[in-house]
Chain A
């Protein structure tokens, strides 16, 4: 019979922020906290930019055409977290992250085929790393 555990919070005993879970192949364990996305977002980068949906995102700032800073609610422990971004538009835009990444925020840019900055109506991003 399947069992189900219902709790509000799970904390490691040996290390509060570290819990191992068994992998799908039943042979490897992986760290639960390390695998969880710490932030994700979908936003409209055109006009008055607006968050469509998000997790752990306090706000977004329209820096200039095609350039948006994403400010996190809970900061990472350092600036070395991994952020991945993409976008969708009929103009064949491409989404990149840039060097302006700190513990509490990071910046995404949208380029067109000619490498010019351009606003995009559907921009996506997620971030993995260690929270502060």
Chain B
């Protein structure tokens, strides 16, 4: 017989801590945004805003802070429908030509083609890790 549990919130037995999802982990934030022109979020989860730092360079600001800066971020991008789309580099500033350390609430995202920064029309980003 199948069983269904109807609840609004799941916490540990004490009522204040996390529960384990057996051998699974959920993303803590994700976003799909237009990085060309005026940056605009199309859809997102736990993403407060996107900062347009410069050409092909953005900061994803997370709503619910992570516990530390060691979370995993990944992303993909597309400049247009031609095969010269941007690729994403995490925690790097093309304008400063230097790494940018992530914080618990922000990650620098760079969209580039080979050797040059380029605004991307479609930027996709997700984060996995522990919440604060």
A residues touching B (Cβ–Cβ < 8 Å)? 2-3, 5-14, 18-32, 34-37, 66-67, 78, 80-86, 94-101, 109, 111, 113, 115-117, 126, 128-130
Residues A20 and B74 in contact, CB atoms below 8 Å apart? no
Residues A9 and B5 in contact, CB atoms below 8 Å apart? yes
Q: A19-B10, A28-B64, A82-B124 are in contact. Are A99 and B78 (CB under 8 A)?
A: yes
The one of A32, A97, A109 that contacts B122, using a Cβ cutoff of 8 Å: A97
Q: Which residue of A lies closest to B10 (CB)?
A: A21
B contact patch SS = loop
Q: Which residue of A lies closest to B46 (CB)?
A: A30
Residues A96 and B131 in contact, CB atoms below 8 Å apart? no
Least distance between B72 CB and chain A CB atoms (Å): 11
Residues A100 and B86 in contact, CB atoms below 8 Å apart? no
The one of B17, B46, B85, B121 that contacts A22, using a Cβ cutoff of 8 Å: B17
Residues B6 and A12 in contact, CB atoms below 8 Å apart? yes
